[in-house]
Amino acid sequence: AQSVAQPEDQVNVAEGNPLTVKCTYSVSGNPYLFWYVQYPNRGLQFLLKYITGDNLVKGSYGFEAEFNKSQTSFHLKKPSALVSDSALYFCAVEDGGYNKLIFGAGTRLAVHP
């Protein structure tokens, strides 16, 4: 069965420092992997996706994610965090062709000035 794990409920980082939000997955076929961000009182917004090709994927707002097939991970990264990056981040996985997206529980990112 497909599953997504975000092992950290919350990540704290100082502004200007690099950030990493972790995600591991379990899927039977070739995974399609996504990151979404949710700001307070808003719906989820797409950040980036991995379908195939280069393991390093670049997305919106300076975020990137690295696909690691051997570790079944898809960690979200940013070289220099901003206070405005503070939000709830969701990793999601889809078995190609099934149109069913499984979300992780979410990780709250807090960037301190």
**Site stretch for other proteins (CB under 8 A), options 20-28, 61-69, 73-81, 88-96:** 88-96
Half-sphere exposure of 83 (CA within 13 A, CB side): 2
Decide if residue 96 touches other proteins (CB under 8 A): yes
- Taking CB under 8 A as the criterion, the residue among 64, 73, 75, 103 binding other proteins is 103
Whole-angstrom Cα distance, residue 29 to residue 47?
23
**Shortest reach from residue 43's CB to other proteins, in Å:** 3
Decide if residue 113 touches other proteins (CB under 8 A): no
Q: How far is CA 55 from CA 73, 74, 90, in A?
A: 11, 9, 19
Three-class secondary structure of residue 60 per DSSP: helix
Binding mask 29-68 for other proteins (x = CB under 8 A): ---x-x-x----xxxxxx--x-x-----------------
